[in-house]
A and B are shown apart, each in its own frame.
Chain A
C-alpha cells in the first residue's frame, strides 16, 4: 500500500515539476561518443536539450543570452570563448525565474563554426546546472572541469583567409575604438555613435554589450 502511494507520489512529482523532468536520463539515441586527446567521452546532442526545454517550458518559456568573451585566430583557426545565460520562466502558483550561466569554447577553421561550437558548448554547460545530462557528468572523472570544448566537424571553406564575423566587421572601426578606450571620457565620446550604429540589431546589441563591459571595467578601475 505504502509502495503504491510512493510510486504515485513520484509520478506526481515528475508530472508537476518541470525541473525534475529535465533531469531524466538522456535516451540512448541522443548520446554521442567522441575522442579527444586519445580518450573517449560520451556526450549528447544539443538538440535533445533544446527539444526538452521547448517541450517542458514552451517555446517562449526559455531564452539564452550570449556574450563573446574571447575571439582569437590561433593555430590556423578561430578560438572562441563564450558566456551564455540560460533563463527559464517557471510558472506555477507563483512566478519563479531560474537563471544559470554556462561557459564554453571551441576552435575551428571557419569562424562561423567556432561560434556555433562555442555556443553549443556554453549552452550544454549551462544545462548541466539544471541537471540535464547529469548522469554523464557524474561518470566524468576529470574533476572540476567546467568548460567543455565542443568537438566540431567542419568542411573546408572556399576561402582560406579567416574572416571576422559580419556583425563585428560592419562596425570594425567603432569596435576597435571602444576596445582601445583607456579612460571614461574617451569611451563616453563614442556613446552617440554606438547608439546610432546602423549595422543591424544584433550588431548594435553586440557593440552596446562591448561598450558596457568596457565602461564597467574603466569605472571600477577608477
Chain B
C-alpha cells in the first residue's frame, strides 16, 4: 500500500475482497462511461472557475469527446453540455483559492499518508466537491469518508475545520425544464477526524494481515470483479 485515498478506504470498507482485486491484484476495469462523464464535467467546472469562457470550455470539450462522431460520443457531449450550462447559470460562488488541490498528508503512527485531490477550495474555509450522479443525494450521503478525509487534510494544512459543500448534478433529471443542481453541506467534528485516524490505522493493519474477506451486499451488483468472487 503506497497511500490511503478516499476511494481506497471506501472500497475496503464496502468489501475487502473488492479492494484486493482492485488495489493488490491491480485487475483491469473496462472503461466506464459514467466515469468519463464525471471526469469531463470536473474538468469543465475547473476551467470555468479559472476564468475560461463557457463557449471556449464547450468547444474544447466537444473536441475532446467527439472524435469518431459516434452516437455515443454525441450523446455524451450533449449530456455534458446540459450539465455544465446548468452549473454555469448558478455556480457555487466565492473566491477560488485553489482548484484540483493535490494533497499527500502524513498520518500518525502509519508509514503511509492520505493522498488525493480536492476539487476546489474557496475563501472562508470552504471546500467544494462536484458530483455527477444518477440518483439524488440525501444529507446522509455527504457524511462520508471523502468529507472526513478532505476536512482532515484542510485542518492539517490550514488549522481549521472547513465546511464541505457538495454540488450534485443528476444526469437523469438534467433534461427536466426546472431542474436545479442540489447543494448539500457538512461540517465535520473533531470526533470525525479522530475516527478517521483510527479507521486508517485499522485499514492499514487489515491490509498488512491480508484480511480480504468478501462482503456480500448490493454493491456486488456493480462490482467489476463479481465473476472472480466465490460469494
CA distance A111 to B218 in the complex (A): 35
Q: Which of B21, B28, B218, B226 contacts A85 (CB 8 A)?
A: B226
Contact of B228 with A65 in the complex, beta carbons under 8 Å: no
Binding site secondary structure of chain B: loop
Q: What are the residues of chain A within 8 A of B21 when measuring CB–CB?
A: 212, 216
Instruction: Tell me the residues in window 64-108 of chain A with beta carbons closer than 8 Å to chain B beta carbons.
Output: 65, 67, 83, 85, 87, 89, 95-97, 99
Residues of A within 8 A of B228 (CB): 212-213, 216
Query: Does A212 contact B30, Cβ atoms closer than 8 Å?
Result: no
Q: Is the CB of B221 within 8 A of A89?
A: yes
Instruction: Report whether B28 and A194 are in contact in the complex, using a CB–CB cutoff of 8 Å.
Output: yes
> What is the bound-complex CA distance between A67 and B227, given in angstroms?
8
User: How far is it, in angstroms, between the C-alpha of A204 and the C-alpha of B26 when the chains are bound?
Assistant: 17
* A interface SS class: helix
Verify A208–B29 contact, CB threshold 8 A: yes
Closest approach, in angstroms, between the C-beta of A171 and any C-beta of chain B?
A: 14
Which residues on the B side are within 8 Å of A5 (C-beta)?
none
Give complex CA distance A191, B26 in Å.
10
Contacts of B177 in A (CB 8 A): none
Given the interface pairs A83-B227, A99-B226, the reply to whether A211 lies near B221 with Cβ below 8 Å is: no
Residue A167 at the B interface, CB < 8 A?
no
Q: Which residues from B are CB-within-8-Å of A201?
A: 30
Query: Given A204-B30, A219-B25, are A212 and B225 also a contact pair (CB < 8 Å)?
Result: yes
In the assembled complex, which residues on chain B have CB atoms less than 8 Å from the CB atom of A31? none
CB-CB under 8 A from B31, the residues of chain A are: 195, 204
Q: Contact at A208–B218, with CB atoms within 8 Å?
A: no
| Residues in A149-197 with C-beta less than 8 Å from chain B | 191, 194-195
Q: Which residue from chain B places its CB closest to the CB of A87 in the assembled complex? A: B221
Q: Are A191 and B28 in contact (CB under 8 A)?
A: yes
Q: Is A55 an interface residue (CB 8 A)?
A: no
Say yes or no: A97 contacts B221, CB within 8 Å: yes
Closest B residue to A66 using CB positions: B227
A97 touches B27 (CB 8 A): no
Taken together as a complex, chains A and B put the C-alpha atoms of A83 and B31 apart, in Å, by: 23
A129 to B48, CA, bound (A): 53
A213 to B221, CA, bound (A): 19
B25, B27, B227: the one within 8 Å of A65 (CB): B227
Which residue of chain B lies nearest to A84 when distances are taken between CB atoms in the complex? Answer: B227
Which positions in A face B, CB cutoff 8 Å? 65, 67, 83, 85, 87, 89, 95-97, 99, 191, 194-195, 201, 204-205, 208-209, 211-213, 215-216, 219
21 A-B contacts (beta carbon < 8 Å): A65-B226, A67-B227, A83-B227, A85-B227, A87-B221, A87-B226, A95-B218, A97-B218, A97-B220, A191-B28, A195-B31, A204-B30, A204-B31, A208-B29, A211-B27, A211-B28, A212-B28, A215-B27, A216-B21, A216-B25, A219-B25
